[in-house]
Amino acid sequence: MDIIERGGDGFHHPSTQDELRALVRFAHDRGIKLRVMGSGHSVAGAILGAGGEDEIRVMLDRYVAVTWVEEHDDYAVVDVQAGCHLGRAPYDPTESSTWASSLNVQLQRKGYALDDLGGISHQTVSGFLSTGSSGGSLTFSVEDNLLGFTFIDGTGKVHRARADAEGEERDLFDAVGVSMGLLGVISEVRLRVRKTFNVVGKQVTSSTGADCAVDLFGAGDGRPSLTQYLRDTGYTRLMWWPQHDFGRIQMWEANRVDPTPDFEVKPYLELGRMPRLASLAGSLLYTIIGNLDDLSVVPDKLVNWRRHLEGSLEGEPDPDACPHPDPSRGTAYSVGEVVAYLQKGLTAGLKRHPTLGEESSPARERSKGLIEAAVDAIEDAAHEVGDAIEDVLGWVLAKLIELVVDGALTFPLTQKLADWFKGELPDWIDEVLGIFVSEGTITFQDCWMCGLPMDNQMDDQLWPTDFTELWIPIERTGEVMCAMRDWYSGDGDPEVALARTGTFSCELYPARKSRFWMSPAYDSDVFRVDVFWFGLNAGDPATDFYPQFWELLKRFDFRPHWGKYLPPPDASWAAHYRRVLPRMADFLTLRAKLDPKGIFLTDYWAGHLGIE
Ligand SMILES: Cc1cc2nc3c(=O)[nH]c(=O)nc-3n(C[C@H](O)[C@H](O)[C@H](O)COP(=O)(O)OP(=O)(O)OC[C@H]3O[C@@H](n4cnc5c(N)ncnc54)[C@H](O)[C@@H]3O)c2cc1C
């Protein structure tokens, strides 16, 4: 059988359904694996198999057309080839993803929209759907846009599954909607898209306590409970910074408005008014904080950071900006400016510390000899340091960062300073995070495709983030919040607390119930707990960080987001999924029928789903 040649990147890049089908038939006839990669935003194991000559790997970057089937005043019907990206993927390995070819821009140009988007829009349409991804809404869901799938099963047979079908075809639709590539290769998706809309919203950052507009941990006390808030708000997501003494919540919310000719775009600025500088500074600080035990690994981890810094210096356009970028985002910065930004933020943060300014402060005592040695050893100190202890410490920390960026790791005090900083961090974490997460309200308004994916501006390279995301029936939101709060508190011990919270945030958002059998929102509105881990940290979140949350939230019958980190692939977790997903057994039966030779079944999925 003729198949298209494998590309130099190891992937096949079919451009027609026939070419795609031939690849599946080829894999079927030889009993070899075939896996498709979308934009690669899921954990690696969820996408590809073990590799090797015998695995066919497919990317659909040449299979991206959008065909207009019907156009009406208030809706349209489109057929979208599976490789089409929702928005632009800045780091698409084939470098073919553009705004112009994206589904969202093609819809928006003709006055239409999807009902919902996730926090980013870098995904392909089929990759996004295959793991059950969604944005934060109990009111709107992209499922409302889905009319049908065309997919090729493991024998090469083409199926069409319509949302409004009955009987077996209905089952096919409900099974393939979230299927992680295990039932077949999705070739095309038919969508009914609605009239375009804009969003108007705000983000309020407050403490998690009495000044929060929502009763986060209770049933409502004049303020709405969190469940009520999630139900009443069109689109929302909360970013929880649960660190010791910090306890902040950023509540992003937006509602739809009809477009008007005089609508003025005011983009959401997740990283403040100087997003590029804040992004460079934040990425650098997190990389250092995440590797304080061994700074020698940091220079290699700063490769992308340096490229971005150089990119900004050379005035390259911001890769993460929406088609109508904010002009401030193109500004260029030097290392000195990034470090100065951090020094200012750290010094201001330390000035807020309750006891550091006191002569008898234990932290002051602990740092004395070392800081004096550092000030003596680093030239020009006299010209740069103010007298106050916070100024000195802020300056020393900035110098430490500069030394690491310069690769001056042999400077005798570098690792000593890092060890000292690590010791103080549990007590200073709120001062450090305060640089990036300040209290207050910001407002924004934008078109749907730029406004809804609020995290598009968090660059994938500067902020590589790992996630585990656990979906829990919405009724249990309050209980889950209390369990998390109590766990995060570490019984009041700052060191235990920091080990449990980490230095990053935890995202909280809802999803509307889904008809798809394997969706973690199957038949139930859900509350989602998405735990972040900065990807350049030392250590492995799968063993060092996430198990605590899997154990803590197991009793709430969570269902996992299939594109993110999963608990270990053992029989007890597979049994858990079978218990909490009532149609999983049907899904597995259908899988065995549609893919009798298991060409789509990798060890990863066999292990996690308990498939023999
Ligand atoms: C920074 C970041 C932010 C995110 N934000 C959100 C969010 O807000 N909400 C949310 O729910 N999720 C979110 N995610 C998760 C993300 O939406 C999912 O991982 C999604 O599946 C990625 O889509 P992709 O195009 O990259 O597909 P991939 O990750 O490449 O693939 C996903 C799965 O689909 C399969 N697949 C891809 N194409 C096909 C096809 N044509 N036929 C059959 N199978 C196919 C793959 O084999 C794989 O199993 C985020 C992830 C990241 C990294």
What's the 415 CA to ligand 1 centre distance in angstroms? 39
What's the 565 CA to ligand 1 centre distance in angstroms? 12
Protein residue whose Cα sits closest to atom 31 of ligand 1 = 127
Residue 605 reports pLDDT greater than 80:
yes
What's the 124 CA to ligand 1 centre distance in angstroms? 7
pLDDT for position 352: 87
What's the 46 CA to ligand 1 centre distance in angstroms? 9
β-partners of residue 506 are 240, 531
Nearest ligand 1 atom to alpha carbon 453: 8
- The dihedral of CA 503, 504, 505, 507: what is its sign? negative
What's the 290 CA to ligand 1 centre distance in angstroms? 26
Rounded to an integer, what distance in angstroms lies between the CA atom of residue 400 and that of residue 414? 6
Choose the residue to mutate in 120, 236, 531 for probing ligand 1, maximizing ligand atoms within 8 Å of C-beta: 120
Rounded to an integer, what distance in angstroms lies between the CA atom of residue 567 and that of residue 548? 10
Tokens 């003709």 correspond to 110
pLDDT for position 325: 60
What's the 435 CA to ligand 1 centre distance in angstroms? 31
3-state SS, residue 202: strand
Average pLDDT over residues 481-506: 96
Rounded to an integer, what distance in angstroms lies between the CA atom of residue 138 and that of residue 373? 57
**Per-residue confidence band for 411, with pLDDT thresholds at 50, 70 and 90:** low
Choose the residue to mutate in 24, 33, 42 for probing ligand 1, maximizing ligand atoms within 8 Å of C-beta: 42
Reported as a single tens digit per residue, the pLDDT across 178-223 is 999 999 999 999 999 999 999 999 999 999 999 999 999 999 999 9
Q: What is residue 124's DSSP assignment? A: B
Percent of the chain past pLDDT 90, that is, above it, reads 77
Choose the residue to mutate in 123, 518, 608 for probing ligand 1, maximizing ligand atoms within 8 Å of C-beta: 123
Protein residue whose Cα sits closest to atom 27 of ligand 1 = 127
For 179, the token pair is 């299927």
Reported as a single tens digit per residue, the pLDDT across 216-231 is 999 999 999 999 999 9
58: number of Cβ within 10 Å: 26
What's the 509 CA to ligand 1 centre distance in angstroms? 18
Reported as a single tens digit per residue, the pLDDT across 514-533 is 999 999 999 999 999 999 99
Average pLDDT over residues 304-330: 74
Average pLDDT over residues 125-147: 98
Question: Side by side, which strands form the sheet with 198-207?
Answer: 440-447, 198-207, 248-257, 235-241, 506-511, 526-534, 465-473, 559-560
3-state SS, residue 472: strand
For residues 213 and 206, the answer to whether their CB atoms sit within 8 Å is yes
Between helix 389-405 and helix 275-289 the angle, nearest 10°, is: 90
If 0-12 CB within 10 Å is exposed, 13-18 middle and 19+ buried, where does residue 490 land? middle
Average pLDDT over residues 502-514: 97
What's the 284 CA to ligand 1 centre distance in angstroms? 27
Percent of the chain past pLDDT 70, that is, above it, reads 96
3-state SS, residue 76: strand
Rounded to an integer, what distance in angstroms lies between the CA atom of residue 137 and that of residue 526? 10
For 439, the token pair is 């209290």
How far does Cα 545 stand from its chain's mean position? Answer: 17
Average pLDDT over residues 128-139: 98
279: number of Cβ within 10 Å: 27
Protein residue whose Cα sits closest to atom 32 of ligand 1 = 127
Element of type H or E holding 434:
none
For residues 23 and 13, the answer to whether their CB atoms sit within 8 Å is no
DSSP 21-61: HHHHHHHHHHT-EEEEESSS-S-HHHH--S-STTEEEEE-T
**Nearest alpha carbon to residue 515 among 137, 149, 175:** 175
Alpha helices in 75-164 (DSSP H): 103-109, 125-130
Protein residue whose Cα sits closest to atom 48 of ligand 1 = 47
Residue 412 reports pLDDT greater than 80:
no
Protein residue whose Cα sits closest to atom 34 of ligand 1 = 127
Reported as a single tens digit per residue, the pLDDT across 357-410 is 888 888 888 887 887 787 777 765 555 566 788 888 888 889 889 888 887 766
249: number of Cβ within 10 Å: 23
CA angle 196/199/201 to nearest 5° reads 175
Nearest ligand 1 atom to alpha carbon 180: 49
Element of type H or E holding 251:
strand 248-257
Reported as a single tens digit per residue, the pLDDT across 565-583 is 999 999 999 999 999 999 9
pLDDT for position 17: 97
Could you give the ipTM of this predicted complex? 0.99
**Per-residue confidence band for 1, with pLDDT thresholds at 50, 70 and 90:** low
Average pLDDT value for the chain: 93
The residues, any chain, with a CB within 8 Å of residue 70's CB and separated by 6 or more, are 76, 77
pLDDT for position 185: 98
What's the 181 CA to ligand 1 centre distance in angstroms? 11
Rounded to an integer, what distance in angstroms lies between the CA atom of residue 580 and that of residue 273? 44
What's the 557 CA to ligand 1 centre distance in angstroms? 23
Choose the residue to mutate in 13, 23, 35, 36 for probing ligand 1, maximizing ligand atoms within 8 Å of C-beta: 36
Rounded to an integer, what distance in angstroms lies between the CA atom of residue 154 and that of residue 271? 45
Strand intervals (E) in 115-220: 146-152, 158-162, 185-195, 198-207
Choose the residue to mutate in 59, 122, 130, 152 for probing ligand 1, maximizing ligand atoms within 8 Å of C-beta: 130
Q: What does R_g of the chain's alpha carbons equal in angstroms?
A: 25
The residues, any chain, with a CB within 8 Å of residue 387's CB and separated by 6 or more, are none
Rounded to an integer, what distance in angstroms lies between the CA atom of residue 191 and that of residue 162? 11
pLDDT for position 328: 53
Q: What is residue 352's DSSP assignment? A: T
pLDDT for position 353: 87
Protein residue whose Cα sits closest to atom 12 of ligand 1 = 133
pLDDT for position 242: 96
For 390, the token pair is 């916070």
Pocket residues for ligand 1 (CB within 6 Å)? 35-42, 46-47, 60, 82, 118-120, 123-124, 126-128, 130-131, 133-135, 180-181, 185-186, 455, 465, 561, 563
pLDDT for position 385: 63
Protein residue whose Cα sits closest to atom 46 of ligand 1 = 47
What's the 122 CA to ligand 1 centre distance in angstroms? 9
For 36, the token pair is 């498709």
Type of residue at 403? L
β-partners of residue 151 are 159, 186
140 or 317, higher pLDDT: 140
What's the 426 CA to ligand 1 centre distance in angstroms? 34
What's the 470 CA to ligand 1 centre distance in angstroms? 16
pLDDT for position 329: 54
The residues, any chain, with a CB within 8 Å of residue 11's CB and separated by 6 or more, are 37, 57, 58, 59
3-state SS, residue 79: strand
For residues 361 and 405, the answer to whether their CB atoms sit within 8 Å is no
For residues 83 and 48, the answer to whether their CB atoms sit within 8 Å is no
For 75, the token pair is 């809706």
How far does Cα 211 stand from its chain's mean position? Answer: 28
